[in-house]
Copies of this chain bind each other. A is one copy, B any other.
Amino acid sequence: MPTRPDRRDPLPLWAQVQRDITARIQRGEFDDVFPGELHLVEEYAVSRHTVREALRALRADGLLDAGRGRPTRVAPAPITATQGVLYSLFSAAEDAGHTQRSIVLALDARADGVIARRLGLEESTPLVHLERLRLLDDAPLALDRVWLPARIAAPLLEADFTRTSLYAELDARCGVRLTGGHEQVRAVIAREREQRLLELPVDPADPAGRASVALLHLERVGELRGQPIEWRQTVIRGDRFALDTDLSSPDRITARPVGGSPR
């Protein structure tokens, strides 16, 4: 069910073909086999050169996996695609030989109008809610809250999140792997509950008992084929966490646990 390109469309033919193939990939139309170039030439009624131009763009976007002599296939959703800062942090901790553990503070199904709307759902839609205190070498590192639609994530309610990761369980129990999303990192002051749970040191010169370390506030929206299905909020102790950028390879950033305050 291809949509043929239209010469009156200001977009070049190859870009129209690219757009249509992208849509078909996202509909899962090519999960079994991807058609050959000549087949696409007939479907779209354009020249092979035009088809190849579209396929070139799709490969550049990482949607296709092609090679000489073998059939092209839809590239499997890379697991790396949905890692981000949070994954980077806990994976770096693992590599450095730290032990990780979580205390599950909440795991239930509930309705939350605010979160549901952020996920583009009805306010009354039931959501699975998971709240964990994440420990690094048995010391509190982060407070992690995540919401997912119960329709998809209900099987998670029986999982034990003391050791395993959310995304591993989501894959194993729900058969779902995120395909995209975005993360945002900001700095915030700890609230009282966070201060208590994260065992933040208190400034002795401050009679009100304010914490002497700040938090990194990570907000994440995970998507499945363009639909947001995860809303996550994590606060991390600022004295135990850093983002690193190597300027020789710009745009690369890694997160890692650190000790002490930077000043």
CB proximity of A226 to chain B, nearest CB, Å: 10
Of A92-100, A152-160, A241-249, the segment with at least 4 beta carbons within 8 Å of chain B is A241-249
- A82: which B residues are within 8 A, CB to CB? 247, 250
Instruction: Verify if A81 is at the interface (C-beta below 8 Å from B).
Output: yes
In whole angstroms, how far apart are the Cα atoms of A84 and B252 in the complex?
Answer: 9
- A251: which B residues are within 8 A, CB to CB? 251-253
Contact with B along A233-263 (1 / 0, CB 8 A): 0001011011111111011110000100111
Which residue of B has the minimal Cβ distance to A244? B184
In whole angstroms, how far apart are the Cα atoms of A263 and B187 in the complex?
Answer: 11
Contact with B along A67-100 (1 / 0, CB 8 A): 0000000000000111111000000000000000
Contact with B along A24-53 (1 / 0, CB 8 A): 000000000000000000000000000000
In whole angstroms, how far apart are the Cα atoms of A211 and B189 in the complex?
Answer: 9
Which residue of B has the minimal Cβ distance to A213? B189
Count of interface residues, chain A, beta-carbon cutoff 8 Å = 53
Of A102-110, A115-123, A126-134, A174-182, the segment with at least 4 beta carbons within 8 Å of chain B is A174-182
Instruction: Verify if A55 is at the interface (C-beta below 8 Å from B).
Output: no
In contact, B214 and A215 (Cβ under 8 angstroms): yes
Which residue of B has the minimal Cβ distance to A205? B208
Interface centre among A182, A203, A244, A247, by most B CB within 10 Å? A247
- A208: which B residues are within 8 A, CB to CB? 205-208, 210
Instruction: Verify if A183 is at the interface (C-beta below 8 Å from B).
Output: yes
Which residue of B has the minimal Cβ distance to A56? B56
Given contacts A187-B213, A210-B210, 13 further A-B contacts (CB under 8 A): A81-B247, A82-B247, A85-B243, A183-B247, A184-B262, A187-B215, A189-B211, A205-B208, A214-B214, A214-B215, A217-B238, A219-B262, A245-B253
17 contacts between A and B (CB under 8 A): A82-B247, A82-B250, A85-B243, A183-B247, A185-B242, A186-B238, A186-B242, A187-B214, A189-B212, A189-B214, A206-B206, A206-B210, A208-B208, A217-B238, A243-B243, A251-B251, A253-B253
